[in-house]
Amino acid sequence: MKKKLIKLKDKLIKNLKRIKTEKLISNYFKDNKLFIVYVLVCVINSTLLRFFTMPTMENYLSFKAIIADTAVVTIIGSFSYLFKAKKRYTYLLVCAIIFTAICTINSAYYTFYTSFASVSMLSLTQYIGEVGDAVVENVLQIKDLVYILPLGFFIYYYHRLNKRNNYKHYTKETRLKKFKHTIIGGGLILLVFILSLSSLEISRFVKQWNREYIVMRFGIYMYQGNDIITSIQPKISAMFGYDDAKKEFTEYYKDRSDEQDYKNEYTNIFEGRNVIVIHAESMQGIAINRTFNGEEVTPNLNKMIKEGLYFDNFYSQVSVGTSSDTELTYNTSLMPTQNGTAFVSYFDRTYISIPSLLKEKGYYTFSMHANNADFWNRRAMHESLGYDKFYSKETYKVDDENVIGLGLSDKEFFAQSVEKIKKISEDNDKFYSYIITLTNHTPFSDTDKYGEFPVTMKTTITNEDGTTEEIEAPYLEGTKLGNYFKSVHYADEALGEFFTKMDKEGLLDNTVVVIFGDHDARLPRSEFNLMYNYDPATDDVKDEEDPTYVEYDSFDYELDRKVPLIIWTKDGAAKGKVDYTMGMYDLMPTLGNMLGFYNKYALGHDIFETKNDNIVVFPNGNWVTNKMYYNSQKGEYKLLKDEIIDENYIEKNNEYTEQLLDISNKAIVFDLFNPNSEENANNGNNGNNGKAVSKEN
Ligand code: GP9
Ligand code: MN
């Protein structure tokens, strides 16, 4: 009996609890009808946007994006509870309209640019002029108006509640309580979202340029909020310290001559020739002249190395902006910025660049790359750098069967590019082109598409009983580095095909070709250690006690990160191996001397002037000369020559490095190459609306 009673009591309590919770929920719904409709409308619109722009289920039903959207609209909507009755509803209405507008604008923008909108682009007013009519005629489609439907429902509902004068009139305390509960609820959803993020997602969010990726994971509202912050931040940092920056800048360049004041054996040797620059994705020096069982990884590049100038101590100087940092440093002889990336945060500054200087000499300048134009914000930045035209993915025919890794395969990209270059060369007296490859991009996993290139080791091993055996050990097969070499082999083959086609069209006859790797393969040190210390008998890394084991320390790894640089002409006008230590920022002055242009503000040097006295500075403060590699974080160095070093050597180079990085950063942030920078700084308005200048200030 007692047992029965207890059971009954339990049941009763359970039911009461259930009824209480149900009541609570139903009361909440009754009390917060408009708020709930508001949240639903905003989340549905964001989901619709993903559906119309990136229509795979993984994208539009992205769980992460949905909780991120819910968190943002709940937190922002929670402030409505601070207002009294009617105003509370109006606040929600305004929010719903703004969120719907964000979806509509991005939907239309995506149709035109295959990317999402950025408020920083508002400063590119010429865009609006150019595309304004086109947007109305061609871009605004029915799908862009779909977002109005949920909003329409919200407005209808808002009016219904309004008409009945059906507001809940809360006391101040209740309003505050409701605000607190809602914002905490939103905060908890946000916390769940943050905890679900991977480090890759966070780092992409911070960089902000891979917009599709961010919208897919973070939803459109968080994307747009982050976009506003990253767009405003450089403007704020440019508001303080202009005068000091300008003074330091003027002081730094005061002894520089306005015109080139020297001549050497390379001066003007290529003046008037067409120029083809190949920015070879992830082409690292270790691939050059490397063979596997007698087969060269890069037979085509190796051939050009023999026929032209080859710089085998050449370093890229990239920071978090990787490819885009190389584009900045190559084109302007400036260093990557200390915060953010120049391509994203400072695209609206004035730059003195190779294309802008060559334009003055009558060149038609263009760049080519088969990825989305907004990747690394190239659409805007290539214009700022002075390229007349940027041929991006939109101008290429991309079929599924021609896709490898990130996009259109290099072979197909080059084949289509030759046709474009042919036309350009017919229409223009001379041209300068900057061509960015894509296939050889990490993670190098499309191995079945690269073509056969075994990275095994055929060798003879001695067995324990003294007999010998011919084996083909797996060596780098199945490793990241092995896959990288397969990918490089493909990239080299694509380059070979490109030059053969260009030659057939006669496009190499009066042309100088410049090829460089944009940065290293970004593979871990352990991969290299295996390559250098492989034991075919055990198919593993040799024992450290083994007398043939070679130590591969962090300095060796840094030194191996160098990239190839080749300057080639069909007639072999310049030949030979150059082993001076050289950086990406030295390329502009070195080429300037050869092609006949000069930039007083280059941070690098003509390598044929500085020769063995050159120093390569890295964005993290490390530097390398022909004598030592210095790691500024650890304060450690490795000597590269058996030579006694002057006691002030490190200190002097550290000072040089710090000053150079500082000047470079200030020149970009404060827009110091812009003749109107002072005026702009006084008006709190830095940036040049994306125009490059080629004249000195
Ligand atoms: C993308 C390509 C790669 O278009 O240039 O950029 P990265 O990841 O090397 O910076
Ligand atoms: Mn790259």
* pLDDT per residue as tens digits for the range 290-327: 999 999 999 999 999 999 999 999 999 998 789 999 99
pLDDT of 129 over the 50 cut? no
pLDDT of 20 over the 80 cut? no
When pLDDT is averaged across residues 164-185 and rounded to a whole number, the result is: 85
Do the beta carbons of residue 607 and residue 314 sit within 8 Å? no
Q: Which of 212 and 76 is assigned the larger pLDDT?
A: 76
Per-residue confidence at 634, pLDDT binned at 50, 70, 90? confident
When pLDDT is averaged across residues 537-547 and rounded to a whole number, the result is: 96
E strands of 142-280, at which residues?
274-280
CA of 279, closest atom in ligand 1: 5
The answer for 689, left when phi > 0, alpha when psi is -120 to 50, beta otherwise, is: left
Do residues 172 and 247 both lie within one domain? no
Do the beta carbons of residue 687 and residue 670 sit within 8 Å? no
pLDDT of 15 over the 70 cut? no
Do residues 221 and 324 both lie within one domain? no
Q: How confident is the model over 478-532, as pLDDT tens digits? A: 999 999 999 999 999 999 999 999 999 999 999 999 999 999 999 989 999 999 9
Separation of 322 CA from ligand 1 center, angstroms?
Answer: 7
Q: Is residue 383 part of a domain?
A: yes
pLDDT recorded at residue 17: 65
pLDDT recorded at residue 123: 47
- Mean pLDDT value across the chain: 90
CA of 323, closest atom in ligand 1: 10
Do residues 224 and 372 both lie within one domain? no
Do residues 123 and 254 both lie within one domain? no
* Rounded CA Rg of the chain: 30
Per-residue confidence at 340, pLDDT binned at 50, 70, 90? confident
Do residues 572 and 653 both lie within one domain? yes
The position carrying tokens 């500075």 is: 617
What does the alpha-carbon distance between residue 12 and residue 83 come to, in Å, rounded to a whole number?
40
Task: Tell me the two tokens of residue 268.
Answer: 């003007």
Q: Is residue 146 part of a domain?
A: yes
pLDDT of 230 over the 50 cut? yes
Separation of 131 CA from ligand 2 center, angstroms?
Answer: 30
Q: Nearest ligand, CA of residue 372?
A: 1
Q: Collect residues with CB below 5 Å from ion ligand 2.
A: 281, 322-323, 518
CB atoms within 10 A of CB 483: 23
Q: Is residue 292 part of a domain?
A: yes
For a substitution probing ligand 1, which of 376, 393, 394, 413 has the most ligand atoms within 8 Å of its CB?
376
pLDDT of 167 over the 70 cut? no
H/E segment holding residue 577 = strand 576-578
Domains in the chain, number:
2
* Nearest in space to 626 (alpha carbons), one of 642, 647, 646: 642
pLDDT of 134 over the 60 cut? no
pLDDT recorded at residue 229: 87
Separation of 323 CA from ligand 1 center, angstroms?
Answer: 5
When pLDDT is averaged across residues 110-132 and rounded to a whole number, the result is: 59
Q: How confident is the model over 383-413, as pLDDT tens digits? A: 999 999 999 999 999 999 999 999 999 999 9
pLDDT of 206 over the 60 cut? yes
Do residues 226 and 254 both lie within one domain? no
Per-residue confidence at 211, pLDDT binned at 50, 70, 90? confident
CA distance to 568, 600, 682, per residue, from 592 (Å): 15, 11, 34
Do residues 484 and 435 both lie within one domain? yes
pLDDT of 127 over the 70 cut? no
Q: For residue 435, give the CATH number of its domain.
A: 3.40.720.10
The parent domain of residue 209 ranges over 21-239
Q: Which of 60 and 514 is assigned the larger pLDDT?
A: 514
Do the beta carbons of residue 227 and residue 118 sit within 8 Å? yes
Do residues 193 and 326 both lie within one domain? no
List b or e across 212-230, with b for residues whose CB sees 16 or more CB atoms inside 10 angstroms. Answer: bbbbbbbbbbbbbeebeeb
Q: How confident is the model over 607-616, as pLDDT tens digits? A: 999 999 999 9
Q: Nearest ligand, CA of residue 378?
A: 1
pLDDT recorded at residue 128: 39
Q: What is the pTM of this model?
A: 0.78
pLDDT of 124 over the 60 cut? no
* Nearest in space to 381 (alpha carbons), one of 408, 341, 420: 341
Name the residue at shortest CA distance from atom 5 of ligand 1.
323
Q: What percent of the chain shows pLDDT beyond 90?
A: 73
Q: Is residue 156 part of a domain?
A: yes
CA of 518, closest atom in ligand 1: 9
Per-residue confidence at 681, pLDDT binned at 50, 70, 90? confident
Separation of 420 CA from ligand 1 center, angstroms?
Answer: 22
Least confident of 49-63, 363-377, 653-667: 49-63
pLDDT of 372 over the 80 cut? yes
pLDDT of 663 over the 70 cut? yes
Do the beta carbons of residue 342 and residue 336 sit within 8 Å? yes
Q: How confident is the model over 569-592, as pLDDT tens digits? A: 999 999 999 999 999 999 999 999
Task: Tell me the two tokens of residue 510.
Answer: 């009066």
Do residues 510 and 374 both lie within one domain? yes
When pLDDT is averaged across residues 643-665 and rounded to a whole number, the result is: 94
List b or e across 319-348, with b for residues whose CB sees 16 or more CB atoms inside 10 angstroms. Answer: bebbbbbbbbbbbbbbbbbbebbbbbbbbb
Do residues 191 and 284 both lie within one domain? no
